[in-house]
Amino acid sequence: MTNMPDWPGGDGGWPIPPEERRPFRRLIIMFAVIGVVVMLGLGAMVVVGYSNLTDLEDDAEQRVRGTTTDVPAASSLDEGGDLAVVESGFSARASEASIGVKLRNDRPLAARHVVVAFTARDASGGVIGQRTEILESVDGSATIAFGTSVAVQGGASAASVEARAHAVKFEQAGRASPLAVSDVRVQDGQYGRSVMGAVGNSSNVRARSVTVGCVFRSQGVIVGGGTDRIGSVPASGTAAFKMTQGVLSDLTPEAFECNALVPAVRTATTTSQAAPSLSA
């Protein structure tokens, strides 16, 4: 028989007598209990950690929700719709019609990306000319002046002109416009008649993407209108505009209503009497 190695507490025989195996059983049980306690502790730490992580996620979600409330709510952001054409008028010639319109935004929110469509018709109602203009912004509850010209087909003269304005969306209004139109007058030059004037900027920031819109009046009635896009007006400075679009060669307005339109700010309309025509 092969000799077995000595075993602690044994007499060199195999197996260890029962009375000598009890301490080892106690030791094994003790280690098992310690292992269970350790596992339970680790499990509790995981649960606590998961709870803390959940709290952090909830907090982050609350922060995100708090951030999104800074975006205009449903009551301050609306889908698109029409602007009202409250007044209009035109003057027609054989190949062109000058059109002036007063547009009103009846909503308290600013109208963005306003598409203004003009249609000229002959005496039978047939379409003889069309034109589309884009306005970046019309302030909430504001009325603005705007004008353009429409080329007519076949040398016909327009018997009526229609205008419709539609905003792509409505949203919170911006700050008040620092722009004002002044010194509006008719100018006769080498290349025809134009309406000229100046746009002043009272702010310390350059105004960009500026559009000047006017309606022309004679005996109180709108007889046409025009538009000029001048790009920018320097801070605390002025910029000249020269409007030829919509200015017919034999049209001499007695009064103007003009405004300088700029994206995301409110606009103000300037009314002035026409200065005498000047020859260049």
pLDDT at 178: 86
Q: What percent of the chain has pLDDT over 70?
A: 65
- 3-class SS letters over 85-137: EEEEEEEECCCEEEEEEEEECCCCCEEEEEEEEEEEECCCCCEEEEEEEEEEE
Give the mean model confidence (pLDDT) for residues 23-39.
65
Q: Is the pLDDT of residue 205 over 80?
A: yes
pLDDT at 248: 80
DSSP 8-state assignment for residue 172: -
pLDDT at 261: 84
Give the mean model confidence (pLDDT) for residues 12-33.
59
pLDDT higher for 34 or 71? 34
Enumerate residues 6+ apart whose C-beta is below 8 A from 183.
196, 197, 198, 275
pLDDT, tens only, 138-162: 988 999 999 999 999 877 789 999 9
Alpha helix locations (H) across the chain?
18-68
Region of poorest pLDDT, from 68-77, 185-194, 207-216: 68-77
pTM of the full predicted structure?
0.64
pLDDT at 63: 29
pLDDT at 273: 54
- Ranked by mean pLDDT, the top range of 7-11, 70-74, 214-218, 275-279 is 214-218
Give the mean model confidence (pLDDT) for residues 268-276.
49
